Amino acid sequence: MGVTSHPEYIVKRSGVQVVFDQERITHAIYKAQLSQKLEDRSLAERLSDIVVQRLSEAYSNGDYPTVENIQDMVVRTLDAEGHKNVATAYREYRTEHARQREEKDEQIVVNDTIPYKTLWQVFTWNVAHECDSIERLNEQVRDGRIGGLIQEAEANYHAEIDRMADRVLKRRNDLRIIIIAGPSSSGKTTTTIKMSERLAEKGIEVVALNLDNYFHNLETHPQDAFGDYDFERPEALDLALINQHLADLLKGKEIQTPIYDFKTGLRQEKTVPFSLKPNQVLLLDSLHGLYKPMTSSVPNDFKFKIYIEALCQIRDARGEFVRWADLRMLRRMVRDSWHRHYQPDQTVGHWHYVRRSEMKYIVPFIGQADHIINGSLPYELIVHKKYLFPHMESIIAAYDDTPARLDAYIRAKRVHDLLEPVEPIRDEEAIPRNSLMREYIGGSVYKY
């Protein structure tokens, strides 16, 4: 069986279009019949024909139905044709599959520290939105369509924040601390702020404890031969004081939080009183949030652990995927230059400390997370082209004649070659003021 006229494609939940297959509708109806002790395959086929005919009429203007649209049409058709028991069974079947799908989506699958399932979701979104390569991204800039991509990318990121908040809400009765961890410039700070906003809308008061204020004085950190400090290790933070303060907060005590001045590299003498009310949830934004000694004083059942990474799934001019670490270095080069008085060439030269710490203290713990979120934005290379490419030649030259800094030269040359074919953004105002991108380029509604 099967009607001649039917939609050419359907839209899956991921946004990808696939070829319409009536047999899947027939099979679902037949399974609902079997649950009602009704073994009539021909009836399932006739009902399927009616569903498809109605879909063809409803989507005759060239639009394609989503999976949910088709399921809704099946239920209405079963009810209209007098098969209410089968319709009820189909609804239950649909609800159960939605529950199983949600549980499956919430599972963290990590192999060799790579969240492959999350990567596939990011990649399929990029393919569907024509931004899975630099060339396709350039086409949107040249055609004037980049504003639409920016809007869609921002909406997708905020939808992920909503999904993450919903998972936190399920734990609201026993949850005391939310941890957002991940490597440098992955988007932790903005994501932390937005998470707080979403939970506040749901009646959960979130209070952030800024662990950046717990750095030891910079002068106590070891220096290399070039005078650079290694402040990327978790031990660069006062872990003992952090754990003592966390334990005190969960006991209802008031603590005195330090204040760290990044410009001077010193803790100030002044401290700030801080306490946690019984109805409040503490939020920690830290590179090393999943490093066990960071929060060893807190029972695991009290924590919801989030891992964020810039999971860029865009191919460069050679057809290779952009390195996540390179994307994050570009972000940090921009941010450090205006926020921490650290020039872009210094960021490149310091990056080996960042990567060494990440590979030892951050990346190995991704499997401990309760939720993984993508902190990359598919359009951001065009922004980095504008801000950083003019500096890349001089950065390469600065390290070219220094054999001991070959690593810095290689990184600088690689990101130069990455950005060279990229079309720069023409209208920066298209980036919303509440965008994660504003954490790096400035102009945000948030205070960093």
pLDDT value of position 376 = 97
Does residue 230 sit in the same domain as residue 277?
Answer: yes
State how far the Cα of 257 lies from the Cα of 145, in Å rounded to an integer.
Answer: 47
> What is the share, in percent, of the chain residues with pLDDT greater than 70?
93
Residue-wise pLDDT for 203-241, tens only, equals: 899 998 989 899 988 888 766 667 776 667 888 899 999
Q: How is residue 400 written in tokens?
A: 């070219």
Higher-pLDDT residue of 316 and 367 is 316
- End residue of a domain, out of 79, 104, 129: 104
pLDDT value of position 103 = 57
Q: Given the DSSP bridges, would you call strands 177-181 and 280-286 parallel, antiparallel or unpaired?
A: parallel
pTM of structure: 0.72
Instruction: Summarize the confidence of residues 177-184 as an average pLDDT.
Output: 94
Which run of H or of E encompasses 20?
none
Does residue 380 sit in the same domain as residue 337?
Answer: yes
> What is the share, in percent, of the chain residues with pLDDT greater than 90?
56
| Cα–Cα distance list, 226 to 230, 350, 443 (Å) | 11, 10, 34
Residue-wise pLDDT for 238-268, tens only, equals: 999 999 999 999 999 999 999 999 888 899 9
pLDDT value of position 244 = 97
Question: Are 309 and 371 in contact, with CB atoms under 8 Å apart?
Answer: no
Does residue 195 sit in the same domain as residue 253?
Answer: yes
Q: How is residue 426 written in tokens?
A: 């023409």
Question: Are 127 and 408 in contact, with CB atoms under 8 Å apart?
Answer: no
Q: Write 348-353 long-range contacts (CB < 8 A, 24+).
A: 348/395, 348/399, 348/408, 348/411, 348/412, 349/226, 349/228, 349/399, 349/405, 349/408, 350/228, 351/408, 351/411, 352/407, 352/408, 353/228, 353/230, 353/231, 353/232
The alpha carbon of residue 265 and the mean position of all alpha carbons in its chain are separated, in whole angstroms, by: 30
Residue-wise pLDDT for 34-93, tens only, equals: 888 888 889 989 999 999 998 888 887 777 888 888 888 898 999 999 999 988 888 888
pLDDT value of position 39 = 82
**What is residue 260's DSSP assignment?**
E
Does residue 274 sit in the same domain as residue 373?
Answer: yes
State how far the Cα of 188 lies from the Cα of 284, in Å rounded to an integer.
Answer: 10
pLDDT-derived band at 348 (thresholds 50, 70, 90) equals very high
| Residue 4 resides in a domain | no
3-class DSSP state of 298? coil
pLDDT value of position 37 = 84
Does residue 265 sit in the same domain as residue 337?
Answer: yes
Residue-wise pLDDT for 12-34, tens only, equals: 766 667 888 888 898 889 888 88
**What is residue 174's DSSP assignment?**
T
pLDDT value of position 17 = 74
* b/e map 181-195, b = 16+ CB within 10 Å: bbbbbbbbbbbbbbb
CB-based burial of residue 88 (10 Å sphere; 0-12 exposed, 13-18 middle, 19+ buried)? middle
Which run of H or of E encompasses 113?
none
- End residue of a domain, out of 72, 88, 104: 104
Residue-wise pLDDT for 131-153, tens only, equals: 999 999 999 999 999 999 999 99
Taking the CA atoms of residue 94, residue 97, residue 102 and residue 103 in that order, the dihedral angle to the nearest 10 degrees is 150
Which run of H or of E encompasses 9?
strand 9-11
pLDDT value of position 11 = 79
Whats the size of the chain, residue-wise?
448
State how far the Cα of 30 lies from the Cα of 26, in Å rounded to an integer.
Answer: 6
| Residue 447 resides in a domain | no
- End residue of a domain, out of 104, 132, 159: 104
Residue-wise pLDDT for 407-442, tens only, equals: 999 999 999 999 999 999 999 999 999 999 999 999
Q: How is residue 74 written in tokens?
A: 């099946």
State the total domains in the chain: 2
**What is residue 428's DSSP assignment?**
G
| Residue 176 resides in a domain | yes
Block residue for tokens 């590299």: 265
Does residue 328 sit in the same domain as residue 239?
Answer: yes
- For every residue of 299-368, DSSP letters joined together read -GGGEEEEEEE-----B-TTSPBPPHHHHHHHHHHHHHHHHS---HHHHHHHHHHHHHHIIIIIGGGGGG
| Residue 446 resides in a domain | no
Does residue 353 sit in the same domain as residue 383?
Answer: yes
pLDDT value of position 112 = 57
Is the pLDDT confidence value at 295 over 70? yes
| Residue 448 resides in a domain | no
Does residue 96 sit in the same domain as residue 140?
Answer: no
Give the full edge-to-edge strand order of the sheet including 371-374.
205-210, 280-286, 177-181, 303-309, 371-374
**Selection from 6, 26, 29, 8 nearest residue 18 by Cα:** 8
Does residue 373 sit in the same domain as residue 240?
Answer: yes
The whole domain housing 84 covers 9-104
Does residue 278 sit in the same domain as residue 423?
Answer: yes
3-state helix, strand, coil in the chain (%, to 5): 55, 10, 35
pLDDT value of position 57 = 86
pLDDT-derived band at 116 (thresholds 50, 70, 90) equals confident
Look over the chain and give the mean of its residue pLDDT values, rounded to a whole number.
Answer: 89
| Residue 64 resides in a domain | yes
Does residue 154 sit in the same domain as residue 298?
Answer: yes
Which run of H or of E encompasses 384?
helix 380-400
Ranking 229-233, 332-336, 343-347 by mean pLDDT, the lowest is 229-233
pLDDT value of position 3 = 56
CATH number of the domain enclosing 395: 3.40.50.300
pLDDT value of position 201 = 92
3-class DSSP state of 180? strand
| Residue 2 resides in a domain | no
Question: Are 185 and 375 in contact, with CB atoms under 8 Å apart?
Answer: no
| Cα–Cα distance list, 216 to 141, 172, 229, 336, 370 (Å) | 45, 34, 12, 19, 30
Phi and psi based region of residue 423 (left: phi greater than 0; alpha: psi -120 to 50; beta: remaining): beta
pLDDT value of position 436 = 97
| Residue 3 resides in a domain | no
Higher-pLDDT residue of 112 and 48 is 48
Does residue 49 sit in the same domain as residue 148?
Answer: no
